[in-house]
Amino acid sequence: MEKKSKWKLMILPSALFILAFGLYGGYSIWETDNNEDVKKIMDAAAAQSNGNEDVAVFQQESDQKNYRSVGRFISQFHKKYNTTLGYGGIDTVKWEEQRKIASEIIAVLANIQTDNTDLLTDFEAISNYSITIEGGRKDKKALLKLHRYFHDLDIEFNGYSDTNDYFDVTEYKKSENG
């Protein structure tokens, strides 16, 4: 009888530990997902409140299903470059991947309309660097410039604020134009 009592006393603490660990793990996952949702909502609100959607739009006849707005295009390519070139990725470039990215940038830029001369200047620079990469030239400096343009435009155009880095490569500045 004494062995059964010890066994029961071992089960209860173990079950409570597993329950507590499961609750903590579930809460942590829920909290992470919830924080990501809140961040997405805040980013969308910031993009809408800055009024930049009037600065640049897609042409009416263009088929840009992947990008709801020019701001979204900028944000997504900033993320692509963070993923493919950030954290040392510039040292191990996958050139065919970068050629495809550059090709997509060129196609999207061809469908953007803006009367803002500073933004046009930035888009022309992005287009020229993209043409260099799409043409097969393995130019890490061009990739670095592309990443920096999208980074700074994400800050200026979309109000992106998850960084202290700012390269000041863009002509477009929200405070002057927004």
Among 158, 124, 171, which Cα is nearest to 53's?
158
pLDDT tens-digit profile of 155-173?
999 998 888 889 999 999 8
Q: What residue type is assigned to position 74 of the chain?
A: I
- Give the CA-trace dihedral at 63, 67, 68, 70, to 10 degrees: -100
pLDDT tens-digit profile of 25-67?
777 776 666 555 555 555 544 444 444 667 888 876 666 667 7
Among 148, 153, 125, which Cα is nearest to 69's?
153
pTM of model > 0.75: no
Domain ranges of the chain: 1-49, 54-177
SS3 call for 144: helix
